[in-house]
């Protein structure tokens, strides 16, 4: 016995006849397998496409950042954004640092270069080579060739690719747009990179000598930052250097700085990933359902196999192998489909990130290979995991004739009760998870999934109750068929419940996300109503959809102040300033009514008191900022000022949806006194009653003397623009919602097909007993319709619960926004419509097939 | 049967591929290559700016300290400080601190209210230390634009030349502070000029080639009594000795065929100094514009022409870095002056592999003058051995 030949071992582990058995099943139920493959493929595709989008966005960010930071380990930045260039000179003359490079940088664009934002990077070629090396390093620095670059005004370098694409050759002149002004420059040369990654970074760069960059951006005498490479093994070096720096400038580690920027998008990306996972979960429901079905169907066969000596593990392997086949084929298909879908999602996600967080100058980043691998592997593993319960069930079949279905269904009755209980416990635990405070939102999202699955587990119990309750009604409407249909469903609850649960989850996601977006939109509308009180707004063009931080030409500010026919002109200065918690968005205002024109959080003081405190140096925090820094009214926020760190009391917390990083509001006089910055980034004009804002806009557009291109728009169009950005932001969420629904639709379609076809024999008997074709149609449609209706009805509470979680847990945690719940019946109507129409559509094919089948043939089948 | 086998093969292959892909991904993630910036640049064609610079075309009046300062009309200018120092215990060091100025164009394009960084002046500096005891040669190079206070030179109100934290500043009548620090070594010296400024060549006009303008204006301070602190490794030592300063400016000193030069700065213990230079020709032949100056103890000078002196190379040294073969021992005879000197490097390896590759080293001198034994120390500069200086100076 011990001397088993090797061939025999393999056969024992997996007899060829069994392989053939599995294969034959897969082939003979090709359409069934096809639907399973499609379900898993769509789930994987959605996940891959979102992961591609997230990975691309992250890579675009890091490439954009790397192109400008190079190998810097630390940066010296100014707390007010403006740094005197003597900080650098003094640092150099002190001899305390060897590797330091001054940087002047700005976002520019150019029609000739395609109009996309580009990073103007002003560097000192003599100091820069250890950092970026774009101009060759050390002894290779060719100062002769650099002569025009160094000595001529407007000399810039572009990547060879960008120059060629734009039809520019060295020596050509073109214009750059900077903060609404046009600058004349010329191409002093082109840069080529050996490796693809550097080439991509270069394509987003306009490289200039620091003198040129200062001239182009009107930053004479100023630097944006100083890049440093400090020894890694000497942490004391940074501390010592910081001590030597003048007040108002700070030394920061690059990693921490970039980390904090990247972190801003983390919540957004995590939520997208979670949403994309839902599509996969729905797909898995389908796999589970189909696999269970196929096992149940073959119980007799497995019983026979077992009595013929096939072991439990062989049966298990057989079922798992089928799942593996479906998983691998589906996942490979899904990865391919994900790449196609990714073309759209990548654009949508980067658009949103560019709108809300930061401007990336690197666009094409290539296909992140890791996303594809991740998607494929998760697809296969998830399919296998889902197939385990049915495979176990198959393995447990006793080696005798098949157990009777009725016995199974009897068991199901008990199980539904237990499942319902488990569902309640799961949902309850999910809610408990929300109480866990965490840095990221993973417990929150896990809790959400638990609540949704908990509700799904409850659906069997709910379905039984609902169908029992509805029987008298359908009986009255459709006679005996009307009583038969719900009873049939209840009797086959072991499979119908899974199908209904899958459809219910998909519809609930649709309802929940729709309610969330509706509530968000509603909240933003109310907020805009309250906050945008001026009649006309003036600002300079900016690359972000957020509050513009671009200064308006001071001459414009003066002219507007003296403009006839205005009731008031409120000036606003928005900028980012340094704080111990990283950069904080600050807005300084002259609006005397700001205390009345914000929605304050409960617990804030009266408007007059808030105004009084604001004028005396307190600040108002937006809700996301207060949440992020865990501050309440009465606390203080610490900011770096040119005189060092300073605490500002928080007078109130206001609702704000402009950014998820949040912002703080300070009185303009206080700001100017402390930071010495007189720039204005936005002007809000109030008109006397009866004025025509559009006329004022036209007058300003033609009458203001400036070389700066300005955006002057009436309240109405600013509001429209904001809502447009809002809708753009949610485009990806809406798209995901649709994709999840499609996956569910396919799931329901296949489940119902299976169910109906399985009942062929029963139908045949009914036909033999005189059931007409029309009656058959009625029966099938009634059954599927009832399932759809059940799913739709169950989806309503689940959807509402989901939207409440999304609004009060996920959004608040991820972005710090409190939204007002706004329930619209439209969402429910749409949910029901999707559920019932999917179900009815799924009934068409089986009804058609069964009605055409002869009774005898139907009975004979199998 | 075959169908079944095929299917499993496909499934198996697909699984293996997925696993390989995961493995590959993990591998590449772990071995992410260090970012390489192999960038190359193609520049717009430039026109040679040399023609627009001033040229050394005849005698000019020198006025000090103003003329210690820069002459930006000329393309090239340098300030050379070299010296031999020793501690009270007799530990010897040689040092070189050199500032080069190079104008890219005669005038940069610039608006009045434009950037302070706009300039056409580029400064390059070399700081070298020869530790004779350990035979270690240290050198560092710095480069910067001559703007924004980072590097520059001035003749008034006081003379100074600096590149970042390396500098020489006039601190009083004939007194200068020299300061240079870098990783591992540094120097803080006070220099006292005991002889005043010496005009080399023909009243400071030093002809280097037959074409008009292939010349430089050349002045020196040949005896700077030096004392101060020298930092080497962990040690800071009190040192004293003699330094030599050369200040030269030109637009195109070298003629066609000239690839470099040999330059000797010799400080003898009888209170006199000797400066000699010979021009290296591509074909190795002797150049007729070789010249020199004898500076007597009282500061009087006599100019030497190429026929007045003879230099025999007695030894050579091949650099392991550049592969160039340099002379490493000379016999100098000036028959009319009764001078015969043997010159030997204090150590062979004093080559700088910097923006330009050259040998600049401390030497010791033994010999006799009019039958009286003399000795001393000095510095020798050898260029054109590793690469031609043509177009660089």
Q: What is the rounded average pLDDT of the residues A618-645?
A: 91
Peptide bond into A488 cis (omega under 30): no
Distance (Å) from the alpha carbon of A35 to chain B's nearest alpha carbon: 18
Contact B40 A144 (CB under 8 A): no
Q: pLDDT at residue B29 above 70? A: no
Lowest-confidence pick of A343-347, A650-654, B52-56, B78-82: A343-347
Cα–Cα distance measured from residue A495 to residue A297, given in angstroms and rounded to the nearest whole number: 11
Decide if A17 touches B, using CB distance below 8 A: no
Q: Do A343 and A390 sit in the same domain of this protein? A: yes
Contact A153 B105 (CB under 8 A): no
Q: Do A362 and A324 sit in the same domain of this protein? A: yes
Q: What was the pLDDT predicted at B376?
A: 97
Rg of chain B (C-alpha set)? 27
User: Cβ-count burial of A694 within 10 angstroms (0-12 exposed, 13-18 middle, 19+ buried)?
Assistant: middle
Write out chain A residues lying below 8 Å of B35, CB-based. Answer: 66, 71, 197-198
Partner B, chain A 165-194, Cβ-Cβ below 8 Å:
170-171, 186-194
Contacts by A254-261, CB closer than 8 A, 24 or more apart: A254/A69, A254/A72, A254/A73, A254/A74, A254/A75, A255/A73, A256/A582, A257/A75, A257/A582, A258/A62, A258/A65, A258/A69, A260/A582, A260/A583, A261/A61, A261/A65, A261/A357, A261/A358
Contact A170 B29 (CB under 8 A): no
Percentage of chain B with pLDDT > 90?
Answer: 67
Q: Residue A763: what are its φ and ψ, rounded to 5°? A: -65, -40
Count of domains forming chain A: 4
Q: Do A367 and A409 sit in the same domain of this protein? A: no
Contact B120 A147 (CB under 8 A): yes
Cα–Cα distance measured from residue A393 to residue A375, given in angstroms and rounded to the nearest whole number: 28
Contact A211 B113 (CB under 8 A): no
pLDDT digits (tens, 9 = 90+) for B197-213: 999 999 999 988 877 77
pLDDT digits (tens, 9 = 90+) for A340-379: 888 888 888 887 777 777 777 776 667 778 888 888 998 8
Orientation of helix A493-531 relative to helix A442-491, angle to 10°? 140
For residue A543 the two structure tokens come to 């690359």
Write out chain A residues lying below 8 Å of B37, CB-based. Answer: 70, 132-134, 193, 198
Decide if A10 touches B, using CB distance below 8 A: no
Higher pLDDT, A406 or A123: A123
Q: What was the pLDDT predicted at A5?
A: 45
Q: Do A101 and A53 sit in the same domain of this protein? A: no
SS3 at position B141: strand
For residue A719 the two structure tokens come to 């509001």
Q: Do A521 and A587 sit in the same domain of this protein? A: no
Q: What is the rounded average pLDDT of the residues B324-349?
A: 96
Cβ pair A681, A539 in contact under 8 A: yes
pLDDT digits (tens, 9 = 90+) for A764-821: 788 788 878 788 888 888 888 888 888 889 999 999 998 898 888 888 877 788 888 8
Write out chain B residues lying below 8 Å of A369, CB-based. Answer: 21, 25
Residue B48's closest chain A neighbor by CA? Answer: A144
Higher pLDDT, B289 or A87: A87
Q: pLDDT at residue B192 above 90? A: yes
Distances (CA, A) of A114 to A156, A162, A545, A587, A705: 17, 9, 19, 32, 28
A535 in any annotated domain: no
SS3 at position A659: coil
Q: What is the rounded average pLDDT of the residues A100-129?
A: 91
Q: What was the pLDDT predicted at A578?
A: 86
Q: Residue A532: what are its φ and ψ, rounded to 5°? A: -85, 85
Last residue of a domain, one of A403, A433, A450: A403
Average pLDDT over chain B, rounded to whole?
A: 87
Tallying the residues shown for chain A, one arrives at: 862
Q: Where does the pLDDT of residue B44 fall: very low under 50, low under 70, confident under 90, or very high at 90 and above? A: low
Rank A63-67, A277-281, B133-137 by mean pLDDT and report only the highest. B133-137
Q: Do A156 and A18 sit in the same domain of this protein? A: no
Q: What was the pLDDT predicted at A577?
A: 87
Q: What was the pLDDT predicted at A860?
A: 57
Percentage of chain A with pLDDT > 70?
Answer: 90
Cβ pair A651, A595 in contact under 8 A: no
Write out chain A residues lying below 8 Å of B30, CB-based. Answer: none
Residues in Cβ contact with A333 at an 8 Å cutoff, skipping those fewer than 6 apart: A37, A38, A41, A44, A45
Q: What was the pLDDT predicted at B4?
A: 45
* Predicted-complex ipTM score: 0.86
Cα–Cα distance measured from residue B159 to residue B169, given in angstroms and rounded to the nearest whole number: 6
In the DSSP assignment, the letter for residue B338 is T
Q: Do A229 and A283 sit in the same domain of this protein? A: no
Cα–Cα distance measured from residue A651 to residue A505, given in angstroms and rounded to the nearest whole number: 44
For residue B107 the two structure tokens come to 């005038």
Q: What was the pLDDT predicted at B36?
A: 36
Q: Where does the pLDDT of residue A3 fall: very low under 50, low under 70, confident under 90, or very high at 90 and above? A: very low
Look up tokens 């062989």; give the residue. A314
Decide if A139 touches B, using CB distance below 8 A: yes
Last residue of a domain, one of A651, A680, A709: A709
Q: What was the pLDDT predicted at A859?
A: 61
Q: What was the pLDDT predicted at B289?
A: 85
Decide if A117 touches B, using CB distance below 8 A: no
Q: Do A235 and A93 sit in the same domain of this protein? A: yes
In this structure, the dihedral spanned by the alpha carbons of residues B16, B20, B22 and B25, taken in order and rounded to 10 degrees, is: -160
Domain coverage including residue A430:
405-530+723-862
Could you confirm whether domain B63-382 is CATH 2.40.370.10?
yes
Cα–Cα distance measured from residue A436 to residue A445, given in angstroms and rounded to the nearest whole number: 12
Q: pLDDT at residue A614 above 90? A: yes
Higher pLDDT, B41 or A483: A483
Helix (H) / strand (E) containing A164: helix A160-165
In the DSSP assignment, the letter for residue B33 is P
Q: Where does the pLDDT of residue B265 fall: very low under 50, low under 70, confident under 90, or very high at 90 and above? A: very high
Q: Do A753 and A860 sit in the same domain of this protein? A: yes
| Residue ranges covered by each domain of chain B | 63-382
Q: What is the rounded average pLDDT of the residues B54-64?
A: 89
Size of interface A-B (CB pairs under 8 A): 188
Q: Do A389 and A412 sit in the same domain of this protein? A: no
Q: What was the pLDDT predicted at A841?
A: 80
Average pLDDT over chain A, rounded to whole?
A: 83
For residue B139 the two structure tokens come to 């050198």
Decide if A18 touches B, using CB distance below 8 A: no
Rank A22-26, A51-55, B113-117, B378-382 by mean pLDDT and report only the highest. B378-382
Q: Do A486 and A599 sit in the same domain of this protein? A: no
Q: pLDDT at residue A152 above 60? A: yes
Cβ pair B200, B216 in contact under 8 A: no
Higher pLDDT, B142 or A360: B142
Cα–Cα distance measured from residue A427 to residue A446, given in angstroms and rounded to the nearest whole number: 11
Decide if A210 touches B, using CB distance below 8 A: yes
Q: What was the pLDDT predicted at A411?
A: 66
Q: What is the rounded average pLDDT of the residues B229-233?
A: 96
Q: Can you say whether residue A548 is alpha, beta or left, with left for phi > 0 and alpha for psi between -120 and 50 degrees?
A: beta
Lowest-confidence pick of A850-859, B31-40, B198-207, B233-242: B31-40
Residues in Cβ contact with A778 at an 8 Å cutoff, skipping those fewer than 6 apart: A478, A481
Q: What is the rounded average pLDDT of the residues A546-550?
A: 79
Contacts by A398-407, CB closer than 8 A, 24 or more apart: A398/A303, A398/A306, A399/A303, A399/A306, A399/A307, A400/A303, A400/A306, A400/A307, A401/A300, A401/A303, A401/A304, A402/A299, A402/A300, A402/A301, A402/A302, A402/A303, A403/A299, A403/A303, A405/A296
Q: pLDDT at residue B135 above 80? A: yes
Write out chain A residues lying below 8 Å of B118, CB-based. Answer: 151, 153, 211-212, 215
Contact B18 A380 (CB under 8 A): yes
User: Cβ-count burial of A247 within 10 angstroms (0-12 exposed, 13-18 middle, 19+ buried)?
Assistant: exposed
Contact B115 A212 (CB under 8 A): yes
Lowest-confidence pick of A314-318, A496-500, A575-579, B182-186: A496-500
Q: Where does the pLDDT of residue B2 fall: very low under 50, low under 70, confident under 90, or very high at 90 and above? A: very low
SS3 at position B202: strand
pLDDT digits (tens, 9 = 90+) for A180-227: 889 999 999 898 877 777 777 788 899 999 999 999 998 999 999 999
Cβ pair B80, B247 in contact under 8 A: yes
Q: Do A438 and A472 sit in the same domain of this protein? A: yes
């Amino acid at each position: 016995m011990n001397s088993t030949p090797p061939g025999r071992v393999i056969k024992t582990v997996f007899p060829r006849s069994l392989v053939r058995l599995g294969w034959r099943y897969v082939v003979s139920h090709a359409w069934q397998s096809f639907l399973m493959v499609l379900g898993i493929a769509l789930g994987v595709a959605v996940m891959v496409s979102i992961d591609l989008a997230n990975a691309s966005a992250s890579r675009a960010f890091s490439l954009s950042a790397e192109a400008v930071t190079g190998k810097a380990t630390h940066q010296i930045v100014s707390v007010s954004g403006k740094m005197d260039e003597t900080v650098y000179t003094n640092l150099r003359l002190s001899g305390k640092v060897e590797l330091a490079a001054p940087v002047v940088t700005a976002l520019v664009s150019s029609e000739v270069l395609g109009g996309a934002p580009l990073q103007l990077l002003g560097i000192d070629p003599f100091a820069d080579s250890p950092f970026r090396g774009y101009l060759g390093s050390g002894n290779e620095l060719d100062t002769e060739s650099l002569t025009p670059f160094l000595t001529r005004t407007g000399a810039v370098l572009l990547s060879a690719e960008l120059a060629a694409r734009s039809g520019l050759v060295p020596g050509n002149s073109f214009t750059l747009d900077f903060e609404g002004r046009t600058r004349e420059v010329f191409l002093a040369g082109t840069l080529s990179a050996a490796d693809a990654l550097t080439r991509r970074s270069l394509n987003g760069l306009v490289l200039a000598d620091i003198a040129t960059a200062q001239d182009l951006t009107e930053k004479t005498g100023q630097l944006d930052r100083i890049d440093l490479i400090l020894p890694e093994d000497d942490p004391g070096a940074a501390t010592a250097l910081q001590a030597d720096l003048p007040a108002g400038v700070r030394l920061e580690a690059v990693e921490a700085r970039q980390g904090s920027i990247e972190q801003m998008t983390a919540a957004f990306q995590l939520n997208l990933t979670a949403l994309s996972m839902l599509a996969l979960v729905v797909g898995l429901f389908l796999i589970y359902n189909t696999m269970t079905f196929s096992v149940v169907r073959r119980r007799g066969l497995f019983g026979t196999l077992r009595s013929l000596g096939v072991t439990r593990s062989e049966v298990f392997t057989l079922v798992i192998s089928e799942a593996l086949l479906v998983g691998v084929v589906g996942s490979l298909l899904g990865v391919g489909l994900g790449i196609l879908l990714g073309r759209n999602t990548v654009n949508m996600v980067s658009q949103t990130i560019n709108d809300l967080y930061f401007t990336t100058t690197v666009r094409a980043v290539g296909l992140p290979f890791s996303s594809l691998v991740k998607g494929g592997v998760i697809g296969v593993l998830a399919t296998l995991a889902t197939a385990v319960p049915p495979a176990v069930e198959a393995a447990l079949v006793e080696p005798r004739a098949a157990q009777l279905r009725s016995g199974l269904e009897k068991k199901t009755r008990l199980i539904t009760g237990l499942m319902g209980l488990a569902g309640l416990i799961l949902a309850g635990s999910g809610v408990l998870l929300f109480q866990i405070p965490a840095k990221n939102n993973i417990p929150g999202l896990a809790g959400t999934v638990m609540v949704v699955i908990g509700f799904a587990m409850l659906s069997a119990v709910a379905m039984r109750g609902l169908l029992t309750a509805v029987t008298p009604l359908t009986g009255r409407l459709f006679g005996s068929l009307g009583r038969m249909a719900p009873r049939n469903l209840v009797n086959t609850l072991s499979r119908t419940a899974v199908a209904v649960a899958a459809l219910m989850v998909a519809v609930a996601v649709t309802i929940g996300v729709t309610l969330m977006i509706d509530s968000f939109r509603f909240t933003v509308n109310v907020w805009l109503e309250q906050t945008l009180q001026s009649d006309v707004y003036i600002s300079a063009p900016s690359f972000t959809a957020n509050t513009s931080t671009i200064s308006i030409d001071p001459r414009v500010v003066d002219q507007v102040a003296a403009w006839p026919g205005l009731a008031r002109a409120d000036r606003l200065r928005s900028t980012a300033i340094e704080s111990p918690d990283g950069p904080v968005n600050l807005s300084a205002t002259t609006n005397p009514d700001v205390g009345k024109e914000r929605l304050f959080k409960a617990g804030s003081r009266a408007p007059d008191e808030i105004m009084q405190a604001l004028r005396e140096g307190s600040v108002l925090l937006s809700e996301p900022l207060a949440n992020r820094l865990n501050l309440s009214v009465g606390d203080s926020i610490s900011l770096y000022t040119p005189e060092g760190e300073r605490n500002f009391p928080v007078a109130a917390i206001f609702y704000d949806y402009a950014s998820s990083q949040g912002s703080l509001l300070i009185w303009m006089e206080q700001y100017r006194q402390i930071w010495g910055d007189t720039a204005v980034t936005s002007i809000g004009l109030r008109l006397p009653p009866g004025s025509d804002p559009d006329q004022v806009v036209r007058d300003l557009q033609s009458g203001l003397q400036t070389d700066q291109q300005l955006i002057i728009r009436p309240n109405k169009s600013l509001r429209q623009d904001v809502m447009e950005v809002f809708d753009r932001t949610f485009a990806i969420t809406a798209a995901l919602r649709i994709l999840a629904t499609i996956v569910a639709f396919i799931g329901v379609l296949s489940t119902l097909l299976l169910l109906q076809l399985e009942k062929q024999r029963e139908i045949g008997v009914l036909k033999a007993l005189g059931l007409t074709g029309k009656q058959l149609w009625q029966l099938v449609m009634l059954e599927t319709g009832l399932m759809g209706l059940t799913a739709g009805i169950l989806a309503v509470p689940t959807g509402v619960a989901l939207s409440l979680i999304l609004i009060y847990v996920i959004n608040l945690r991820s972005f710090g926004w409190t939204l007002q719940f706004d329930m619209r019946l439209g969402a429910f109507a749409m949910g029901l419509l999707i559920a019932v129409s999917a179900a009815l559509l799924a009934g068409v094919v089986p009804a058609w097939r069964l009605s055409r089948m002869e009774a005898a043939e139907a009975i004979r089948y199998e | 049967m075959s169908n079944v086998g095929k299917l499993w093969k496909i499934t198996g292959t697909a699984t293996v591929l997925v696993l390989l892909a995961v493995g590959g991904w993990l591998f590449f993630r772990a071995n992410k290559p260090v970012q390489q910036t192999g960038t190359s640049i193609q520049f717009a064609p430039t026109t040679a700016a040399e023609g627009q610079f001033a040229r050394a075309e005849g005698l000019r009046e020198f006025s000090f300290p103003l003329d210690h300062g820069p002459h930006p009309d000329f393309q090239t200018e340098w300030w050379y400080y070299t010296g031999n120092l020793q501690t009270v215990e007799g530990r010897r060091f040689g040092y070189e601190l050199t500032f080069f100025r190079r104008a890219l164009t005669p005038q940069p394009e610039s608006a009045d209210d434009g950037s302070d960084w706009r300039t056409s002046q580029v400064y390059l500096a070399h700081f070298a230390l020869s530790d004779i005891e350990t035979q270690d040669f240290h050198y560092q190079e710095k480069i910067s634009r001559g703007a924004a206070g980072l590097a520059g030179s001035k003749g008034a109100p006081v003379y100074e030349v600096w590149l970042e934290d390396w500098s020489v500043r006039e601190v009083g009548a004939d007194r200068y502070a020299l300061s240079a620090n870098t990783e591992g070594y540094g120097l803080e010296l006070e220099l006292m000029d005991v002889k005043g400024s010496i005009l080399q060549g023909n009243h400071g006009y030093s002809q280097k080639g037959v074409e008009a303008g292939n010349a430089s204006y050349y002045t020196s301070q040949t005896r700077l009594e030096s004392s101060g602190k020298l930092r080497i490794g962990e040690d800071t030592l009190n040192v004293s000795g003699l330094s030599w300063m050369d200040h030269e400016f030109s637009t195109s000193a070298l003629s066609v065929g000239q690839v470099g030069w040999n330059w000797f700065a010799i400080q003898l213990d009888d209170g006199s100094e000797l400066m000699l230079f010979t021009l290296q020709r591509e074909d190795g032949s002797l150049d007729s514009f070789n010249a020199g100056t004898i500076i007597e103890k009282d500061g009087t000078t006599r100019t030497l022409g190429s026929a007045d002196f003879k230099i025999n190379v007695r030894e050579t040294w091949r650099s392991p870095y550049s592969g160039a073969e340099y002379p490493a021992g000379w016999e100098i005879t000036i028959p009319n002056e009764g001078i015969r000197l043997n010159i030997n490097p204090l150590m062979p390896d004093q080559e700088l592999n910097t923006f330009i590759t050259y040998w600049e080293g401390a030497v010791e001198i033994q010999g006799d003058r009019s039958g009286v034994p003399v000795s001393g120390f000095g510095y020798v500069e050898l260029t054109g051995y590793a690469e031609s200086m043509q177009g660089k100076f």
